[in-house]
Amino acid sequence: MQTLFPNSPFSLGIDSDTQEKIIVSVIIVLLVWLVRLIILRLVWKTTNNHKSRYLWKRIMSFVAPITVIILIGMVWVNAFRHVGTFLGLLSAGIAIALKDLLENMAGWLFIVIRKPFTVGDRVQIGEDKGDIIDIRLFQFTILEVGNRIDAEQSTGRIIHIPNRRVFTMPQANYDQGFKYIWNEVQIRITFDSNWTKTKEILLQILNKYGADVVQSAEEGLCEASKMYYVHYQHLTPIVYLTLVENGIRLTGRYLCEPRKIRSTESAIWEDILTALEAHDDIRWAYPTQRFVSYNIPPDIPVDHPDIPIN
């Protein structure tokens, strides 16, 4: 076979067959790039839809490299001694070009086989939190809760998350294994308030809303212990006391279903406000300042040792 450029000073000692393959490979790259550019230009002229433009750009970003790899591979296939070498290079090129897609597919397999979550579960992936509403080959979808809304209620936004994030982000599942979570309410009373009575009142209110889930929680804990080392010493509501700057802080902990946090907490606060209002020896604590004034008789000098100096 005769070289295209027999007397070229740039042959660098390369045989004619290899030179032709290099030239053809360069032409293939240029032609595929030109075709991709023409297609994208036509798409941008025929539609103003941003989503359509984006999809075409993504499609061409996948199709163009694969086409180049296949065509160049066909040119160079005879240069390889073993077909396995060509297939290895081809698969490596495809893996590089479709890296994100392959990772998402691997994430989908992990979700389907290992089941870290299923449709209907409430999960948190990194900073995103919500209820799983769809699982597909390349992404799963959640209905967002929390974020700019208090008490983990729905924001109404739908978030599409690539499946590959299950390999790189920590995942919290609210429903798998043990479906209850601990919630807390805190109240502050003054130092001279009757804290023992306050503790009893708070505990009674928490038992009203948290005690009915204890039996179900114990059964769920028993099931969860078959898969995980989950252990709680107490599942019944409990109240803790802490001294803070402006009074005594009482923290009540109780088990609650994740989707009932706001309604349960609202009902608990209504009962707390009603109950404490009936007791004069219990006063709410809040940041205050006290000013003490002294009436100094006119016949006593200002620098008298009995007069406090502030």
Task: Summarize pLDDT for 52-74 with one digit per residue, the tens.
Answer: 776 787 678 778 888 888 888 77
Q: Which residues of 209-223 are buried (b: 16+ CB within 10 A; e: fewer)?
A: bbeebbeebeebbee
pLDDT one-digit tens code per residue, 109-163: 999 898 888 888 899 988 888 999 888 888 899 999 877 777 678 888 899 999 9
Share of the chain above pLDDT 70, in %: 79
Q: Whole-number mean pLDDT of the chain?
A: 81
> Who contacts 299 (Cβ-Cβ below 8 Å, separation ≥6)?
none
Say whether 219 sits in a helix, a strand or coil: helix
Closest CA to 197 of 136, 269, 133, 282: 282
pLDDT band for 298, please (50, 70, 90 cuts): low
pLDDT band for 21, please (50, 70, 90 cuts): confident
pLDDT band for 2, please (50, 70, 90 cuts): very low
